């Protein structure tokens, strides 16, 4: 049973009063805490070097010069305008980022950084074809500044949650690498040691044992919250894993009929056929929903005699991608056609062996990808816990009658 809102507020107030112990809290504008300046250069430096290069959303390359050190970087322009990252050590910031240089010695650098993370700078972005955040607007934002000792204690508590999440994320990354290695080994059938699983395996092209159907075009504005299930190619990268029985998006029945949109049926594998990089191409998702699903024209549905999840897992192996690479056309958007996909050679063991492999890989997949169990669930819970305490520890009452001023822990 969830805690009543009034009880939460009372408990939060009592916690902050104990932490502040009657001391004063000042409010300062970010312009009094940081000197903001735009980074340098409209393009990513191509010289290479020892220093990481930060754009609007993290590291995008390396350079032989630096223009900032151990300080936050706020996304300045583009889709990631307002996103906050920590620039560790000496680093170079492009024009796509805003350098945040601490100028107030009474403010702990990490305390100020946590306040930047708490802000919704993205909502401040000027809405245009290229959204951007102005440091003149950043200067006006105000944050509470308790005594340095209190700032340090807040940082200590929040760092504990941050480090725990980082440890879990590192463990998940290691598990994913382990899983990818084991998946590739399991689906290679190249080992002669395991004669039981290696024998009776045929090697067939995808074109020999199945057929591809390309989807038809629809746009994001066609997608609605209810209707006929659909998969847009962009969602294949952000939402879908090796299998699905429900969709995130839908289109209307009228659109399906008027445009004669194409549908993948239960047991088909939806394969993405376009992306910004070659590495993006070819990921497969086994469709296991009882109803058919409309597919985008940058996707294929593949129907075969094979276990659909077996095919989906194979589509994520290095062996699969090594084969399709030569058939991908490069450009602003990379793409592959059905003819290229049909030439991919896949090992075909017995149906029983396919199911055995799927069962093993499902367990790994749950551990590394499921948001309802395994490490992803644990990380999500820790992030929620961190966000709760960040909100608790960084929210102070403003002085009555004004947003800026001084308040005490007993307000």
| Domain spans in the chain, listed from the N-terminal domain onward | 27-145, 146-184+352-397, 202-348
Angle at 241 between CA 240 and CA 244, to 5 degrees: 70
Sheet holding 59-63, edge to edge: 34-38, 97-102, 68-75, 84-93, 51-54, 59-63
Distances (CA, A) of 113 to 31, 54, 106: 14, 16, 14
pLDDT at position 346 is: 97
pLDDT at position 410 is: 39
Count, residues in the chain: 411
Superfamily the domain 27-145 falls into? DNA methylase specificity domains (3.90.220.20)
User: How crowded is residue 7: how many other Cβ atoms within 10 Å of its Cβ?
Assistant: 9
Q: What is the Cα–Cα distance from 313 to 285, expressed in whole angstroms?
A: 8
Contact between 287 and 308 under an 8 Å Cβ cutoff? The reply is: yes
Query: Beta strand 97-102 with 68-75: parallel, antiparallel or unpaired?
Result: antiparallel
Contact between 389 and 158 under an 8 Å Cβ cutoff? The reply is: yes
- Per-residue tens of pLDDT for the chain, all 411 residues: 445 545 555 555 566 667 666 678 899 999 999 999 999 987 777 777 899 999 988 898 899 999 999 999 999 988 788 999 999 999 999 999 999 999 999 999 999 999 999 998 988 876 666 788 988 899 999 999 999 999 999 999 999 988 888 888 888 888 888 888 888 998 988 643 444 455 689 999 999 999 999 999 999 899 999 999 999 998 998 889 999 999 999 999 999 999 999 999 999 999 999 987 787 799 999 999 999 999 999 999 999 999 999 999 999 999 999 999 999 987 767 899 999 999 999 999 999 999 999 999 998 888 777 655 677 888 888 888 888 888 888 887 665 444 444 444 433
Helix pair angle (148-186, 109-118), 10° resolution: 70
> Which of these, 1, 27, 34, 4, lies nearest to 394 by C-alpha position?
27
Is the pTM value of this prediction over 0.75? no
Phi–psi pair at 172, nearest 5 degrees = -65, -40
3-state secondary structure the chain: CCCCHHHHHHHHHHHHHHHHCCCEEEEEEHHHHEEEEECCCCCCCCCCCCEEEECCCCEEEEECCCCEEEEEEEECECCCCCCEEEEEEEEEECCCEEEEEECCCCCCHHHHHHHHHHCCHHHHCECCCCCECCHHHHCCCEEEECCHHHHHHHHHHHHHHHHHHHHHHHHHHHHHHHHHHHHHHHCCCCCCCCHHHHCCCEEEEHHHHEEEEECCCCCHHHCECCCEEEECCCHHHHCCCCEECCCCEEECHHHHHHHCCCEECCCCEEEECEECCHHHCCCEEEECCCCCEEECCCEEEEEECCCHHHHHHHCCCHHHHHHHHHHCECCCCEECCHHHHHCCEEEECCHHHHHHHHHHHHHHHHHHHCCCCHHHHHHHHHHHHHHHHHHHHHCCCCCCCCCCCEEECCC
Phi–psi pair at 243, nearest 5 degrees = -150, 160
Identical fold, 27-145 and 202-348: yes
pLDDT at position 46 is: 73
Q: Which fold has domain 202-348?
A: Adenine-n6-DNA-methyltransferase TaqI; Chain A, domain 2 (3.90.220)
Q: What is the Cα–Cα distance from 313 to 179, expressed in whole angstroms?
A: 11
């Amino acid at each position: 049973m969830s805690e009543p809102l009034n009880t939460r507020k009372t408990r939060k107030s009592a916690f902050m009063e104990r932490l502040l112990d009657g001391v004063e809290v000042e409010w300062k504008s970010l312009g009094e805490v940081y000197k903001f300046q735009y980074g340098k250069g409209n393009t990513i430096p191509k010289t290479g070097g020892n220093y990481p290069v930060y754009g609007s959303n993290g590291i995008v390359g390396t350079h032989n010069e630096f223009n900032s050190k151990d300080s936050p970087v706020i996304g300045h322009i583009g889709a990631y305008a307002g996103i906050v990252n920590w620039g560790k050590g000496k680093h170079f910031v492009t024009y796509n980022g805003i350098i945040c240089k601490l100028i107030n010695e009474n403010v702990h650098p990490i305390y100020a950084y946590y306040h930047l993370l708490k802000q919704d700078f993205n909502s401040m972005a000027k809405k245009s074809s290229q959204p951007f955040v102005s440091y003149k607007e950043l200067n006006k934002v105000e944050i509470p500044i308790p005594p340095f000792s209190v700032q340090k204690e807040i940082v200590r508590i929040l760092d504990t949650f941050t480090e725990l999440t980082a440890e879990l994320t590192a463990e998940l990354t290691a598990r994913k690498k382990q899983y990818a290695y084991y998946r590739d080994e399991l689906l290679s059938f190249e080992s002669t040691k395991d004669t039981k699983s290696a024998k009776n395996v045929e090697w067939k092209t995808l074109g020999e044992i199945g057929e591809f159907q390309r989807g038809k075009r629809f746009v994001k504005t066609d997608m609605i919250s209810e209707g006929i299930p659909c998969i847009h190619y962009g969602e294949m990268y952000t939402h879908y894993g090796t299998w699905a029985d429900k969709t995130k998006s839908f289109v209307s029945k009228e659109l399906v009929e008027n445009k004669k949109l194409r549908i993948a049926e239960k047991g088909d594998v939806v394969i993405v056929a376009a992306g910004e990089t070659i590495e993006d191409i070819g990921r497969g998702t086994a469709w296991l929903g009882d109803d058919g699903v409309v597919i985008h024209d940058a996707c294929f549905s593949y129907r075969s005699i094979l276990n659909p999840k077996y095919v989906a897992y194979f589509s994520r192996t290095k062996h699969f991608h090594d084969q399709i690479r030569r058939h991908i056309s490069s450009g602003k958007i990379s793409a592959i056609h059905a003819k290229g996909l049909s030439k991919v050679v896949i090992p075909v063991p017995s149906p029983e062996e396919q199911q055995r492999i799927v069962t093993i890989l499902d367990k790994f997949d749950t551990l590394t990808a499921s948001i309802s169990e395994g490490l992803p669930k644990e990380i999500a819970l820790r992030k929620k816990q961190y966000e709760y305490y960040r909100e608790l520890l960084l929210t102070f009452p403003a002085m009555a009658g004004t947003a800026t001023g001084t308040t005490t822990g007993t307000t």
